[in-house]
Structure 1
Amino acid sequence: MKAEKNPWYWIPILNFASGFPYAIIISVSVIMYKNLGISNEDIGIYTSLLYLPWVIKPLWSPFIDLHSTKRKWFLSMQLLISIAFLIVGFTIPMNHFFFLSLAIFWVAAFASASNDVATDGFYLLSLSKDQQSFFLGIRSTFYRLSMLTGNGLIVIIGGYLETEFGDKTKAWSYTMIIVGLLMATITVYNLLTTPVSENETSEDAVAQQKDFITVFASFFKKKQIGIVLAFILLFRLGESQLMKMLTPFLIDLKDAGGMGLTTEDVGIIYGTFGVIALLVGGTLGGIAISKHGLGKWMLPMILIMHLPIVGFILLSHFHPENTIYIYLVVIVEQFGYGFGFAAFLMFLIFVAEGESKTSHYSLATGFMALGMMLPGMISGYIQEYLGYGNFFIWVLIATVPGVLISRFLVFPADFGKKTTPN
């Protein structure tokens, strides 16, 4: 597909629209439920189960490949997500709001996973390999920026409304309605800016003629598939647990081992300096791979991504009174995440290379989601058993298997490097 519109117009916001609902469903729901009185154990189990649509999305990704255009898919799914968030806002004041809102979040999660499949396919078919490498950092940054918009701006709004109304239920009801309206606005923008034509290459056309079983089976015939899957499943073993318990840690009172911050404090910390650090890290990560290739940067990027967990270990043991230390830890962690995660995304693109690359990329990200869901489900129990201090030490240890496995991966050292014209 040759995009008749400048990629700078649509890549940032299209990927923002992919990450934003994920942030609300997976991350902001944790903050919301924590403030509405749900226990850490229940938060860990039920919000982790919301990962399931991303785990099993490869089962219906061939259907998306074979029916209609990817643009129609992601626009219709984004509209459905907008409606779902509005409905969640209206369920919060109701009895049994926890399970009612979870059910709607499930609908939004399936729509969001489908949106991801269509968006990924649109990206892979729209750009040359050089462009994919160049825009990888931008794509990753705006995806992560959308998550920080949830954990930052949306949480700030929720915290402000908590103070304004003096009623957390009313505050989060209004917040989710605002989220739905924002998602609807993003959908309209993508309708107006994304290229309309989708002229796939002959390779993609042949791949689409294959049946699901052939497409599915061909993924497991790739070289080193056992090691590749182990790496994808274990790479985020630590991060999956960190993401679920980090917000409870920041909000819980110091008597409970937390940092005692308000909801608005958490939103400000992640929505200001965290955003800047992420933008810088993500952009530099994409540029580094584009200049030197994945081979040079794989291990350094993985280490830069994981080592900032040490900062949360220190916070949980010393509980500094000055919030500047929390800002410093978040800045370092967000920069490391933005810079390091670019390597993982580029490796997934390598795994998806060849025929049926949209479906294969979806399979790879599905296994990634499984690696996030299972550890996240038990993270609340592990945290309650170990306490926050020892929990963060465990999280750091959990990053080791992914680092070790990465040393056995075989891929071209210059993969992702921008080729220079003769």
Structure 2
Amino acid sequence: MSESKNKSPWAWIPTLYFAEGIPYVVAMSLVVVMYKRLGISNTDIALYTSWLYLPWVIKPFWSPFVDMMKTKRWWIVTMQLLIGACLGGVAFLIPVPFFFQATLAVLWLMAFSSATHDIAADGFYMLALDSSQQSFFVGIRSTFYRLAMITGQGLLIILAGSLESFTGLQPLNFSVESSTTAKSTIVMQPQNYNVPKTDEMTFVAFPSDLVLNTNRISKDSLEQIKNIASAQNLQNGFVSADKNSAVKAASKEMTGNAGIVAIRLTKKPEAGKSVVLNTNFAKGDKSISVVSGERITFTPENWDKPAYVVVQLDKKLSSNVKSEFKGVSGNLKLAWSITFFILAGFFVLLFVYHRFVLPRPASDHSTATNSVGDIFKEFGHTFATFFQKPGIVLAIFFMLTYRLGEAMLVKIVSPFLLDGREVGGLGLTTGQVGLVYGTVGVLALTLGGITGGIAASRKGLKYWIWPMAMSITLPQCAYIFLSTFLPDNFFFINLAVAVEQFGYGFGFTAYMLYMIYFSDGEHKTAHYAICTAFMALGMMLPGMMAGWLQEKLGYQHYFFTVMLAIIPCYLAVSMLKIDPEFGKKKKN
């Protein structure tokens, strides 16, 4: 009996796929927040961090080398150690003056290491488990991958924020409240504020509790408010010239009401030192946000002048809600260095853990030959054998069309939920959309994925392919319902999203299992990576034209059009040939 049979998959699948998700969310989300906190411009952040996605896009091109050289187990543990070293390198480089360029270079290495780790992990999953185990654990691996996303986008940012607060002055706190009745006074000019006398250096906000009427204002008025605040911040040295908002053309289009919060420092900083205040949303309703003055710098020259932060209500907000904002002034570089050191230590622990816990399947071996020429010949052979597989045309057709409806839907759902009812949307606020998809949607998606894995392991992929295909397509009717009746009841909106997300989680199980099924055989690791490339292509191409088509048709007709995507999907499913025994749980 092979060692893979003696070790429970529960011992390594959750940790393996949690480890797979963390570097991805670090590159895609966490570093964006870090660079923003450290004062990098939005333009540079968007441009350079977007390139970090490239290794995951092109990973099929070096997947054959992972298949040919060493074992998948070796690649997994080695890449985890290298990822840990890269995260440690980022932690060391954050304090240096050229940290942006230096950390980006190390993050590039981390991204390639992570993409290689993904190739090896997916291949190892297929080698270490039989088909019934693959079916059962497909939802479990997806769940822990999503937990990694939540950890990176939530817990790690919370950790860094806590460290920021711990290493600096007492955090600044102020609240903003929307009101349908109260009048709101906007501070349009700097003035003297009554700063309390104290020997302690701290921040004071004026007002500490701002109330804004929900009546909308013109975009022209909003720009005037922002320009006044930006001009004063620039004049007093709170921001540098490249942080000053550009003046925009006047517009009478209506937007959410806005107001100014002035911030003063109570004590002069030491000569040659500065205090940087970063202000962000803390808790409450996310329909209220900071739109200018997120990062301001107090110096010995400007400490006794007011700095201005502009806050704005969502234009669709029509009820009384309250949000709290926190400004922290800690040692930002130290806080983020500690965060990345913790991540580095976590990956070293994963390396040690998987070094002993991962099984050693007999089928996990290298296929490399001694000659360099033979290696490149084998590289070409790997790609050739994929496209020579029986039924390759139908398989590619299935991989491109199974998620066609989802690809057309995913780009339009958020705009539909946010757009006003006058243009066919539901007119939800940003906070409401976050609640719908961040809680109800995530729970339904996870439950659907786990249910799909359990179901597939009992009856096999062939039995479930049709129910799962219908599950991933028919719940899209929920958006036909929403766009036709435009319900006001938030419960029905949540219910529709929950049904759609559960259906997607349940139906996606068949897609993942079919890619595993089709990749089986020689070079299964590389072939699975190629399948994932077709999966990405099937999402990318329809998504590129979704916005244009929706604008031409309107939301209701667009969602009816999306339902036509079931035709090629069902056509592909009807022609698939799948072993009836694949995915079934084997009886002892």
Residue 83 (structure 1) shift: 8.7
Does 155-164 or 316-325 show the bigger shift?
155-164
Give 1:416's aligned amino acid. Answer: G
In 2, distance between residues paired with 1:273 and 1:136? 21
In structure 1, the residue matched to 2:199 is: none
What does residue range 395-406 of structure 1 map to in structure 2 within 5 Å? 395-406=562-573
Partners of 1:252 and 1:328 in 2: CA distance? 19
Q: Please state if 1:70 is matched with 2:62.
A: no
Alignment CA distance shift 1:151-1:52 (3 Å): same
Q: Does 1:275 align with 2:275?
A: no
SS of structure 2 residue aligned to 1:261: coil
Contact 2:70 2:365 in 1 (8 A): no
Q: CA deviation at 1:275?
A: 3.1
Structure 2 CA distance for aligned equivalents of residues 398 and 28 of structure 1: 35
Q: Which amino acid aligns with 1:333?
A: E
The one-letter amino acid paired with 1:12 is: P
Q: Are 2:478 and 1:311 aligned?
A: yes
Q: Which residue of 1 aligns with 2:433?
A: 266
Counterpart in the other structure of 1:191? 351
Against the structure 1 CA distance between its residues 19 and 366, is the aligned structure 2 distance closer, same or farther, given a 3 Å change threshold? same
Aligned partner letter, 2:481: L
Q: Does 1:236 align with 2:400?
A: no
CA deviation profile, 1:114-141 (whole Å, cap 9, x unmatched): 3421221232233333432321221233
Specify whether residues 356 and 208 from structure 1 end up closer, same or farther in structure 2 by C-alpha distance, changes over 3 A only. farther
- AA aligned to 1:214 is H
Residue segments in structure 1 that go unaligned for 5+ positions in a row: 30-37, 91-101
Partner of residue 205, structure 1: 365
CA distance in 1, matches of 2:88, 2:79: 14
How many Å apart are 1:333 and its aligned residue?
Answer: 1.4
Question: What secondary structure does 1:121 align onto?
Answer: helix
Match of 2:226 in 1: none
CA gap 1:326/1:163 in 2 versus in 1, 3 angstroms: closer
Aligned to 2:365, the other structure's residue is in SS state helix
CA deviation profile, 1:136-171 (whole Å, cap 9, x unmatched): 221233335555778998999997576786248669
Specify the alignment match of 2:517 in structure 1: 350
Per-residue CA deviations over 1:235-290 (Å, capped at 9, x if unaligned) read: 11221232222223333344454333343333322233333323332222111111
Q: Identity of paired residues, percent?
A: 44
- Structure 2 residues without counterparts, runs of 5 or longer: 32-41, 96-103, 162-279, 296-325, 327-331, 370-374
2:546 is aligned, of 374, 379, 390, to 379
| 1:401 CA displacement | 0.8
Pairing of 1:22-421 with structure 2 (within 5 A): 53-65=55-67, 66=69, 69-72=74-77, 74-75=79-80, 79=84, 112-144=114-146, 146=148, 160=282, 166-167=290-291, 187=347, 190-196=350-356, 199=360, 201=362, 203-205=363-365, 207-209=367-369, 211-421=378-588
* SS of equivalent residue, structure 1 residue 410: coil
1:122 aligned partner, one-letter code: F
The 2-side partners of 1:77 and 1:383 are apart by: 44
User: 8 Å contact 2:281–2:289 — kept in the other structure?
Assistant: no
**1:180 deviation in Å?**
7.4
Distance 2:472 2:154 in 1: 20
RMSD, aligned CA: 4.7
Q: Which residue of 1 aligns with 2:101?
A: none
- For 1:348-393, what per-residue CA distance to the aligned partner results, in whole angstroms no more than 9, with x for missing partners? 1111111111111111111111111222222232233333333322
TM-score (structure 1 length as normaliser) = 0.76
Counterpart position of 2:232: none
**Structure-2 change in CA distance of 1:21 and 1:404 (3 Å):** farther
Written as runs of structure 1 = structure 2, the 5 A alignment for 1:13-24 is 13-19=15-21
User: What TM-score do you get using the length of structure 2 for normalisation?
Assistant: 0.57
Amino acid at match of 2:575: F
Structure with higher strand content: 2
* Structure 2: distance between partners of 1:310 and 1:184: 45
Distance 1:195 1:283 in 2: 27
Report if aligned partners of 2:84, 2:346 keep a CA contact under 8 Å in 1.
Answer: no
> 2:135 & 2:442 partners in 1: Cα distance?
22
CA distance in 1 between partners of 2:570 and 2:462 (Å): 14
Equivalent position amino acid for 1:352 in 2: S
1:72/1:204 CA distance change after superposition, 3 Å? closer
In the other structure, the counterpart of 1:95 is none
What CA distance in whole angstroms lies between the structure 2 residues aligned with 1:51 and 1:386?
Answer: 32
Q: State the aligned residue count.
A: 404
Q: Distance in 1 between matches of 2:25 and 2:549?
A: 23
Could you tell me whether the CA contact under 8 Å between 1:5 and 1:194 is conserved in 2? no
- Greater shift, 4-13 or 407-416, is seen at 4-13
Deviation at 1:55, TM superposition (A): 4.6
C-alpha distance in structure 2 between counterparts of 1:385 and 1:24, whole Å: 37
1:380 & 1:341 partners in 2: Cα distance?
Answer: 24
1:52, CA displacement in angstroms?
A: 6.2
C-alpha displacement at 1:12, in angstroms?
2.1
Q: Which amino acid aligns with 1:18?
A: E
In 2, distance between residues paired with 1:253 and 1:28? 31
What secondary structure is seen at the aligned counterpart in 2 of 1:166?
Answer: strand
Relative to structure 1, the CA distance from residue 47 to residue 324 in structure 2 (aligned partners, 3 Å threshold; closer, same or farther) is farther
Counterparts of 1:184 and 1:394, CA distance in 2: 47
- State the SS of the aligned residue for 2:557: helix
Residues 154, 233 of structure 1: alpha-carbon distance in 2 compared, 3 angstrom cutoff: farther
Structure ranking higher in helix proportion: 1
Deviation at 1:408, TM superposition (A): 0.5
Deviates more, 1:408-417 or 1:134-143: 134-143
